[in-house]
Structure 1
């Protein structure tokens, strides 16, 4: 449930961001476990993990969007709402990059002789680093703007 008072709303937003971080950790650990089942991968187990991770991310995003709407319409804080919009966009990109990285890692494991795979992994990792930097910057702006009127 989305809180109705401003400070509680901001706190809930930060909790949701922490949940995202934890969900990424679970996703990463699950993928590493999946790779250990190769070359005859336990795809059913991994597919179930992806389903659960997707549900978790969807739940988080839904609540973040509700908070974004409240900040914009009920608290008249369009700047905060805008930061959250940018954040959602970057989070979507991060998830897509994470999935790309996981596929590249599996390809590299299946074809150790293919040097392009390692190069692709490094490129994706670099994109993820840039994405995390952008996320961090957006969160800093959000923090600054949310504390402005305390």
Structure 2
């Protein structure tokens, strides 16, 4: 395999990460729209959004795993494979945290006087920020290592 093939694979990975960013934006916007339908929530519409997002993330994850496999088999880049393993793990956590945040935001909206609801939202937001920082570090390591000559 050539260095051109390697660079194309790395670029494809970055494109997939951009798609993930866009999918999260779409998910967040959809949830905000869902919250605006309260207190009689349009759950069917939201359920469809969650279904579409789950499908999108599953497809993106599969594509990243395909890249990981090629990096391992075609280029013997165990360093990059490890970064992608870490990234996939952190992305899974990010999706779980995002779902928890959405539930917490709805609970806080439905029970504005209930103690601890807003604190829970803030706590989850902090966890998402920490997770995002870890993701950024992994991406930075991937970038650095993928630019190194083999």
TM-score, normalising length: structure 2: 0.96
Distance 1:78 1:58 in 2: 23
User: Unmatched 5+ residue regions in structure 2?
Assistant: none
How far off its partner does 1:115 sit?
Answer: 2.4
Aligned to 2:112, what secondary structure does the other structure show? coil
Moved beyond 6 Å, runs of 4+: none
Range with greater deviation from structure 2 (114-123 or 32-41): 114-123
Number of the residue aligned with 1:79? 79
- C-alpha distance after superposition, 1:77-128 (max 9, x if no partner): 0000100000000000000000000000000000000121101011100000
Distance 2:114 2:49 in 1: 28
TM-score, normalising length: structure 1: 0.96
Aligned to 1:5, what secondary structure does the other structure show? helix
How far off its partner does 1:73 sit?
Answer: 1.3
- C-alpha distance after superposition, 1:25-74 (max 9, x if no partner): 00000000000000000000000000000000000000000000110111
Aligned residue runs from structure 1 range 1-150, under 5 A: 5-149=5-149
When the two chains are superposed, the root-mean-square deviation of aligned CA atoms in Å is: 1.0
